[in-house]
Amino acid sequence: MTKLRLAIVGAGPAGIYAADILLKTERSFDVSIDLFEQLPAPYGLVRYGVAPDHPRIKGVITALREVLDRGDIRIFGNVRYGEDITLADLKKHYHAVIFATGAIRDADLAIPGIDAVGSFGAADFVSWFDGHPDVPREWDLDAESVAVIGNGNVALDVSRILAKHAIDLLPTEIPDNVYEGLQASKVTDVHVFGRRGPAQVKFTPLELRELGELRDVDMVVYDEDFDYDEASLDAIASNKQVKVIDRILQQWRTRPSVNNAGGEASRRLHLHFWAKPLEITRDNDGRVSGIVYERTRPDGQGGVAGTGEVRTVPIQQLYRAVGYFGSPLPEIPFDEKHGVIPNHEGQVLHPDSNERVPGVYATGWIKRGPVGLIGHTKSDAMETIQHLVNDQGSWWRPEDPSDEAMPALLAERGVAWTDLDGWHRLDEHEVALGAPHERARVKVVPRDEMVKISRGE
């Protein structure tokens, strides 16, 4: 019986779903899968990219946990592709590899002043408040007025965490250093800027509704943004999600805080639509001092046009949430323009010739870019797996495909890898830290501490 030894790089939803689909559907040959993850813990952006006050979304972890806990997938955590293991290593010990490394960098925003002191990418801030082990422990929140550029769910996550009172995050798994940082925050006003109108936003009704439920935070919307054109009215009439978003925003228009008129909360969250950022101004020390934007209008073709009206809002900090972007991997083709591995339905391609790279596949955001929800990740993985199975003739011919080869190689190189039992130890430890305080868990943040707990050291 043919045996497939498969390596998957990346233990987020994309990698775990790919492994699960292959094991559940493939009956014509024996399958053995090793999952490599650069962090000591699995689950990728579900653990390190979802705000801690979103337990409903984190429920995805329950499904991922069930897949891993079956015990038919080996995990090698704290192992970096390109450093601890190479493409040559994978070719020596596996028949093929699937890269499921996601997209964790911030997309660029090319406007003057975007590199000012106090200007950040949203992904870095999300990594901080989610306790990612590879970012600094402290985050300076000494600005009173802050801008967030973007109209997607990440922009709302960032805005919500900035506006929310730290004590209201205590029931969550927020790390201690993050709670202390948010507790010391001086933020009073968060301004969210989107180029298009309320009927064209990318966030979901759930995310928007949660904003309006924040304690001691006024939602500020502006009447001038609700002069809908025909396309917006059509979208509201025909799309249930857009209709709900409009209903929420219209309810906010009846509150006393509309147009900045007389809200009583200690913090305010302003939504500015039809606002295209033009420039970030700086003070004499090179720090962010304001955001300059142009009022836009519908262009009649689904986009926007400038009106020529330019405004400035004084701010002292800026977060750009204009999308995530993939990172190149050693010895693997990469599309610098789109931030993905060039591929045809998951089969990796040489960018110059468009010829297939034998044995190398991609799935998830590194395959298609940072779009779509968890459901898309499953169908995405299925497509990639289908090609992998059909490509038997072009698999690698590994020199040593034994189960013992990879643990021996990592031990020889002194790599302190973590396995499934190690993740269970770390998981139980974090839950135990939270129990006395009636919290879901308290995340362990330092990488070396995560590794020591996982390895029982």
Cα atoms found within 13 Å of the Cα of residue 227, Cβ hemisphere only: 6
pTM: 0.92
Query: Hey, how many other C-beta atoms are within 10 angstroms of the C-beta on 415?
Result: 16
In the chain, CATH 3.50.50.60 sits at 105-320
C-alpha angle 382-427-419 in degrees, rounded to nearest 5: 60
Tens digit of each residue's pLDDT (9 = 90 or more) over 60-105: 888 899 999 999 999 999 999 999 999 999 999 999 999 999 988 8
Across the range 213-231, mean pLDDT stands at: 93
Query: Is residue 12 within 8 Å of 100, Cβ to Cβ?
Result: yes
Superfamily of domain 105-320, CATH level 4: FAD/NAD(P)-binding domain (3.50.50.60)
Superfamily of domain 3-104+326-417, CATH level 4: NAD(P)-binding Rossmann-like Domain (3.40.50.720)
Kindly give, in sequence order, each residue whose CB lies less than 8 Å from that of residue 367, ignoring residues fewer than 6 positions away.
14, 340, 341, 343, 346, 380, 384
Average pLDDT value for the chain: 93
- Assign 163 a pLDDT band (cuts: 50, 70, 90): very high
| Burial class of residue 313, CB neighbours in 10 A (0-12, 13-18, 19+) | middle
Q: What is the pLDDT of residue 252?
A: 93
Q: What is the pLDDT of residue 261?
A: 66
**Most distant CA atoms of the chain, gap in Å:** 74
CA-to-CA separations, 214 to 23, 119, 268, 270, 450, in angstroms, rounded: 43, 25, 10, 13, 33
Q: For residue 113, give the amino acid letter.
A: G
Q: For residue 365, give the amino acid letter.
A: W
How far apart are the C-alpha atoms of 221 and 253, rounded to whole Å?
Answer: 6
Provide the terminal-to-terminal Cα distance of the chain, rounded to the nearest Å: 41
